[in-house]
A and B are shown apart, each in its own frame.
Chain A
């Protein structure tokens, strides 16, 4: 197995796809986070007008709003590790290099296992790099205001890395299932950029902002994984900082949490652990389907 993983690393490093996608992912994460932080005023103003803030007398400056930008930047940048994973098997099938890969591995299951492990590691590499770029973008964009505490940052960073790993594996499964690189890229992009976010919006709109079916779909669950921590952190901070907390009804606070979750991009999600479990299940389901398909495919 170690030999096959080494071979997979050599495969990845001997072509340019990995850094091409990585550079774009870093640019997107960095600029997205930076832009959001610098137009922060608008968002902050809206939140400060909210009932909770007014009643609780929260002072906006003490709230670390930048968590929202961090998660948003992560969510958008996960597209790239997803595509990277999507091309893992699809491009080998498309270019027929899969023939030699199968012929030099003890059996298909071992090769696919080695691919899974290798791409999980690469998903983590993408995740760490994306979080670095997003954090840098926020520091530059916000000029150092409203930064999150280290432990919150760490929690979101961990969720972000996990999200990247799972998106990579989900992509890998989808690519193996579809079998053509072009088809895989189209399907993943259409889902990741359009279908996923739009269905999240529609379902959440229908549910009036409550947790709903959107949070059970891959995109919603993934956003919940990263967004929940941010939303909870904001809610906690408000509760802690609020001088007039007694005046904030639990109903109002819940409503605020939903708003914050929406701002963090985690529409209609079920909270951190549930989202993590749901997204994990989705990623594993697609991975298993893709590997099963590859296991039985005739290579002609």
Chain B
């Protein structure tokens, strides 16, 4: 069943709602065995894209396939892909257990599976309560239980951490990692990079319906030049000493500190010692992903032409954009 064939492919996907272009020419692939983060600010088109992958919204242009097939050709789709969607509906007067029994029947799995998924999400006790009386986090857990009913090879999750308590979020993270380790596929959306950063391998960042970045999270991190934030007793003396060592990219940073690019805290400390400059604070910053994400998705990039799509990832800075990363 989970033979690693659960590949999601999105090709030149677009969707217009009347005059609103919700998704514009989006392409990416989610490989089995990995967790892909689908990131973008509010209204970027994440939900619309995920719903097109699931066959709930008809694309205006392009295709979205799972295992090479559109959703309505999957046979028994819930066996292939499970999903947790934004503001998913439950009948308020139906109990959680009965809700799951309905869809267990539709998928054709035995009722014992209902107990298994209830236990998996920690809702066994609440199983006979009406879904209408559930908290946001409990509803999210019930949605996840529904997604797991068919033991699918692909999981598509739209902001699944919404409403989950810290314990729930931690559990979800390790659950998704384990799920991917079994060779299955996870596509998870969020508007916060920090929320999924520890979970994902690959990232698709979109803004205004267009791809801003598509590639490995590690590459994105490495693309960020390391910086050292230092608070010296004498700014000028340290700057001069650094320049003598060919370390030239120095900028003033907040709190009276200096930001020094492409170096390490150790090196800066040694140079300061030799120059006789006292150091009151020294901090090494690697990838400030959240800051990067913010810049990728904020206004300045929306006017940029969409990237070449469907090919191995290209980083925005490769196109000659400067400033982000070191800018502070």
Name the B residues within 8 Å of A100 (CB-CB): 88-89, 103, 146
Name the A residues within 8 Å of B98 (CB-CB): 10, 14
Q: B58 touching A298 by the CB < 8 A rule?
A: yes
With A7-B105, A14-B102 in contact, is A298–B57 under 8 Å at CB? yes
Q: A104 touching B103 by the CB < 8 A rule?
A: yes
Residue A48 interfacial (CB < 8 Å)? no
Q: B77 touching A95 by the CB < 8 A rule?
A: no
Name the B residues within 8 Å of A16 (CB-CB): 93
Residue B234 interfacial (CB < 8 Å)? no
Q: B101 touching A14 by the CB < 8 A rule?
A: yes
Name the A residues within 8 Å of B253 (CB-CB): none
Name the A residues within 8 Å of B299 (CB-CB): none
Of B48-56, B178-186, B214-222, B271-279, which stretch is located at the interface? B48-56
Residue A299 interfacial (CB < 8 Å)? yes
Q: How far is the CA of A298 from the CA of B48 in the complex (A)?
A: 10
Tell me which residues from 159 to 177 in chain A have a Cβ below 8 Å from any Cβ of chain B: none
Q: A102 touching B106 by the CB < 8 A rule?
A: no
Name the B residues within 8 Å of A3 (CB-CB): 105-108
From B91, B98, B106, B150, residue with most partner A Cβ within 10 Å: B106
Tell me which residues from 63 to 77 in chain B have a Cβ below 8 Å from any Cβ of chain A: 72-77
Q: Which residue of B lies closest to A92 (CB)?
A: B89
Q: Mark A1-43, 1 if CB is under 8 A from B, else 0.
A: 0011011001100111000000000000000000000000000
Tell me which residues from 208 to 245 in chain B have a Cβ below 8 Å from any Cβ of chain A: none
Q: B102 touching A96 by the CB < 8 A rule?
A: no
Q: B77 touching A103 by the CB < 8 A rule?
A: yes
Residue B90 interfacial (CB < 8 Å)? yes
Name the B residues within 8 Å of A107 (CB-CB): 72-73
With A100-B146, A300-B51 in contact, is A106–B102 under 8 Å at CB? no
Q: A97 touching B95 by the CB < 8 A rule?
A: no
Residue B85 interfacial (CB < 8 Å)? yes
Q: How far is the CA of A98 from the CA of B91 in the complex (A)?
A: 10
Q: B108 touching A103 by the CB < 8 A rule?
A: no
Quick one: which of B54, B75, B94 contacts A106, CB cutoff 8 A?
B75
Quick one: which of B83, B95, B103 contacts A7, CB cutoff 8 A?
B103
From A6, A99, A103, A104, residue with most partner B Cβ within 10 Å: A103
Q: A10 touching B78 by the CB < 8 A rule?
A: no
Q: Mark B140-171, 1 if CB is under 8 A from A, else 0.
A: 00000010011000000000000000000000
Number of B residues, CB within 8 Å of A? 40
Residue B87 interfacial (CB < 8 Å)? yes
Closest beta carbon of chain B to A300's beta carbon, Å: 6
Q: A102 touching B48 by the CB < 8 A rule?
A: no
Q: A97 touching B58 by the CB < 8 A rule?
A: no
Q: How far is the CA of A298 from the CA of B17 in the complex (A)?
A: 10
Q: B94 touching A104 by the CB < 8 A rule?
A: no
Give the A-B contact count at a CB cut-off of 8 A: 91
Q: B89 touching A98 by the CB < 8 A rule?
A: yes
Name the A residues within 8 Å of B107 (CB-CB): 3, 104
Closest beta carbon of chain B to A283's beta carbon, Å: 26
Closest beta carbon of chain B to A21's beta carbon, Å: 14
Closest beta carbon of chain A to B98's beta carbon, Å: 4
Tell me which residues from 87 to 143 in chain A have a Cβ below 8 Å from any Cβ of chain B: 92, 95-108
Q: B76 touching A10 by the CB < 8 A rule?
A: no
Q: Which residue of B lies closest to A94 (CB)?
A: B89
Q: How far is the CA of A140 from the CA of B90 in the complex (A)?
A: 44
Closest beta carbon of chain A to B44's beta carbon, Å: 15
Q: Which residue of A lies closest to B79 (CB)?
A: A104
Q: How far is the CA of A98 from the CA of B92 in the complex (A)?
A: 14
Closest beta carbon of chain A to B148's beta carbon, Å: 12
Closest beta carbon of chain A to B217's beta carbon, Å: 28
Closest beta carbon of chain A to B216's beta carbon, Å: 30
Quick one: which of A96, A103, A108 contacts B54, CB cutoff 8 A?
A103
Q: How far is the CA of A296 from the CA of B55 in the complex (A)?
A: 11
Q: B93 touching A299 by the CB < 8 A rule?
A: no
Q: B89 touching A96 by the CB < 8 A rule?
A: yes
Tell me which residues from 22 to 64 in chain B have a Cβ below 8 Å from any Cβ of chain A: 47-48, 51, 54-58
Q: How far is the CA of A219 from the CA of B147 in the complex (A)?
A: 43
Quick one: which of A95, A108, A298 contacts B91, CB cutoff 8 A?
A95
Name the A residues within 8 Å of B102 (CB-CB): 7, 10-11, 14
Name the B residues within 8 Å of A97 (CB-CB): 89-91
Tell me which residues from 243 to 300 in chain A have a Cβ below 8 Å from any Cβ of chain B: 296, 298-300
From A98, A99, A100, residue with most partner B Cβ within 10 Å: A100
Name the B residues within 8 Å of A101 (CB-CB): 106
Q: How far is the CA of A6 from the CA of B102 in the complex (A)?
A: 8
Q: How far is the CA of A6 from the CA of B57 in the complex (A)?
A: 26
Closest beta carbon of chain A to B53's beta carbon, Å: 11
Q: Which residue of B lies closest to A91 (CB)?
A: B91
Q: Which residue of A lies closest to B73 (CB)?
A: A107
Q: How far is the CA of A87 from the CA of B105 in the complex (A)?
A: 21
Q: How far is the CA of A298 from the CA of B56 in the complex (A)?
A: 6
Q: Which residue of A lies closest to B90 (CB)?
A: A97
Closest beta carbon of chain A to B131's beta carbon, Å: 10
17 contacts between A and B (CB under 8 A): A3-B105, A7-B106, A10-B98, A14-B95, A14-B101, A95-B89, A96-B87, A97-B89, A98-B89, A103-B54, A103-B55, A103-B77, A105-B106, A106-B74, A106-B76, A107-B73, A300-B17
User: Which A residues have a C-beta under 8 Å from some C-beta of B?
Assistant: 3-4, 6-7, 10-11, 14-16, 92, 95-108, 296, 298-300
Q: Which 3 A-B residue pairings sit nearest by Cβ, starting from the closest?
A: A96-B89, A7-B106, A14-B98
Given contacts A6-B105, A100-B146, 19 further A-B contacts (CB under 8 A): A3-B105, A3-B108, A11-B91, A14-B91, A14-B95, A14-B102, A15-B94, A95-B91, A97-B89, A100-B88, A101-B106, A103-B54, A104-B77, A105-B77, A106-B76, A106-B77, A300-B48, A300-B51, A300-B56
